[in-house]
Structures are given as structure tokens and as C-alpha cells.
Chain A
Amino acid sequence: MVTELLSSPLLGIVLTLVTFRVAELLYRRSGLVFFNPVLVSSCVIIAVLKVSHISYADYSNGGDLLLFLLGPSVVAIALPLWQRREQVLKRKLPILVGVCAGALASIASAAGTAWLLGASPEVVSSLVPKSVTTPIAIGISAKIGGLVPLTAALVILTGCIGAICGPEFCRLIGIRKPTSIGLAIGTASHGIGTARALEEDRLIGAVSGLAIGLNGLATAVFVPLLWLLFGWN
């Protein structure tokens, strides 16, 4: 019956693949960075689900399968890291200090801004890992009492901001070296920003990809340490 097909993983997978494919074509053909494929696909799928009264639970039967593949994708970041080990080791100090500064700036500015504007504690916790790639951010959020799906959503939003205006913003504020731009985009906006960085320049993209892993590690280490240090929980 048709209703059985609705709760099959096929629905979520087909809907996501078709929408993403069209969104990607729109992005390439238009050349407009505002048509970020992740942003456009997410909005279109939400609209389709709302209009057709398909529940999120039905969608996620298939969506979760695709989301699950983020896990091995994080492990796969070992490859670009390994391939660029010489470049990375040569510049390890600026890269490591830059990522650590960025990770701390991210934790402090996200939590600080939200707290000042009166966010509830769960929302503040959900915001803290927003610059980190989804699978790592989800783990951190859960450990500090954040709302995991909200964190996942904010990670996407953050990624889209970096993808839409990261390179332009960096140039505007005087960040000009390819390695600096790449590190800034990857540290702030993980994989989604990196996809845009790869379109800009190979070196920018490579360093951005590296920053996903490094910031993931840095934030995953800093957050529990800070929470332990300040006794938050």
C-alpha cells in the first residue's frame, strides 16, 4: 500500500537525493553563492513535508541512513590530512595556534552572545559546538546538556553562513593568504564551508578540510576541559 511506502527509508532517500541534485544544478548554473545546495535542499524538503503532511519521523527513516554516513566521512578526513602532512607539519605552529584560538573564540562568542541575549541554558549549550562538523558537534552537545537536533540545525546554519560569505568576509577584513583563508573557513564552518573553499582555490580548500578535523578535535577536547574547570553542568 502507498502508506507503507511512506514509512519506508526509500521516501527520505529519494526525496533527499532528488532535491539535492536539483539544488546542486541550480547552484552551479546560477553561480550564486546564496543558492547553497544544503540550505536550499533543507528548505525545500521541509516545505514538501509540511505541504504533503508527511511526518518528520517518516522522512528520517531514510534521512537517518544518509546522516549516518557522516560518521565514516569524519574518519575519511584522515586521508587529506595524511596527504598534506608535509605542508601541515611545515606550518604546524600557525595552523595549530590558529585553530585553537578559533575554537576558543567559537565557544566563548557563541555562548557569550546567546547568554547576553537571554538564551536558556539548553540553547546556550546547543550553540557551543556550532562550528564543528555535525557528528562531532552532536557528541559534544549531548555531553554538555544541549539539544542535539538543535545543535545539528545550527551546525548547518553556521556552515551555510561560511559557505555563502566566508571568502568575501576574509578578504574584507584583510585575511589574504590562502592558508589563512582556508583555516578561517574550515574552523568556522566545517564541511559546508569547505565545499565552497574548494571552489575558490585548491590550497584554500585543502587547509579548510584540515581545519574541520583539527577544530573538531580542539573543540571536543576544550569543551569538556572548560566545563570541568568551571564546574558547569
Chain B
Amino acid sequence: MLQGLVLLFGFQFIGELLARLLDLPIPGNVIGLAMLLLALAGGIVKEESITEASDLLLKYMTLFFVPAGVGVMLYFDLIAREWLPIIVGTVVSTFVVMAVTGWVEQLLGGDGD
């Protein structure tokens, strides 16, 4: 478990470092994700060494979103002022994305599953 956490935090750190050093437009944690995938593919990191820690974090990922949800209270004024574009934009766009993504995947999907 500890080894897995060290690896996850370590790869996040490497990702954040690369993002800053190279001034990349991609967030550091995504670079960390890509680096970890490469390390798994290259046999540098063994799958078993990150399984426990990764499963734990992914299982509780929704919990980590709650403080971000509470953060909405800071923006009640702004949301109240521009509630129509904010709410309609979010709802409409969410359904548009689901429709476009699902349809495209299904049309190109063949019978592979």
C-alpha cells in the first residue's frame, strides 16, 4: 500500500515538475498518469505494486469531489447573476456530449463487444 502511494504521489510530482519545466499546457497530474502508463508498459513499475493504493483512491474518488461541490457557495452571487447561461449551458452541454460520444462510438463500434 505504502509503495503504491509513494509511486502515485511520485508520478504526480514528476508530472507537475515536467509541466512547469517545459511550460506544457497539460495539467501535471495527467502527465503523471501518462508517465505511469509508460512505466507500466516498459516494465519499470509492476502492476501489483500500485493495485492496492490505486483501487483505494479510485473507490473514494467521489468523496474527494465533495469539498469542490461545497466551493460553489463562494460563487452564489455570480451564479445568481448569470444563472441562466450557467445552468442551461451545463445541462445542454452535458446531454450533447453524451449523445455525440455514444452515437459516434456505437456507429464505429462494429460488433466488437
Contact = CB atoms under 8 A, between A and B. Distances in A.
Interface string B70-91: 1111110011001011101111
Nearest to B96: A109
Given A75-B12, A79-B50, A127-B86, A162 B98 contact: yes
A26 interface: no
A182 to B, nearest CB: 9
A70 B66 CA distance: 11
The size bracket of the interface on B is: 35 or more
Contacts of B44: none
Contact of B97 (A109, A150, A159): A109
Contact of A91 (B58, B75, B98, B109): B109
B29 A75 contact: yes
Interface in B11-41: 11-12, 15, 25-30, 32-34, 36-37, 40-41
Nearest to A82: B40
B29 A64 contact: no
B47 A153 contact: no
The B interface is mostly helix, strand or loop, or mixed, namely helix
Nearest to A105: B100
Interface string B40-77: 11000001001101110110111111111111111100
B70 A79 contact: no
Contact of B57 (A64, A76, A95): A76
A192 to B, nearest CB: 6
Task: Identify which of B53, B65, B84, B109 gathers the most chain A CB atoms within 10 Å of its CB.
Answer: B65
Contact of B29 (A67, A116, A135, A140): A135
Contacts of A115: 85
A162 B94 contact: yes
A8 to B, nearest CB: 15
A108 to B, nearest CB: 8
A95 B8 CA distance: 26
B29 A71 contact: yes
Interface string A175-206: 11111110111011101100100000001000
B45 to A, nearest CB: 9
A158 B94 contact: yes
B71 to A, nearest CB: 5
A6 interface: no
A133 B88 CA distance: 20
Contact of B101 (A19, A63, A98): A98
Interface of B: 5, 8-9, 11-12, 15, 25-30, 32-34, 36-37, 40-41, 47, 50-51, 53-55, 57-58, 60-75, 78-79, 82, 84-86, 88-106, 108-110, 112-113
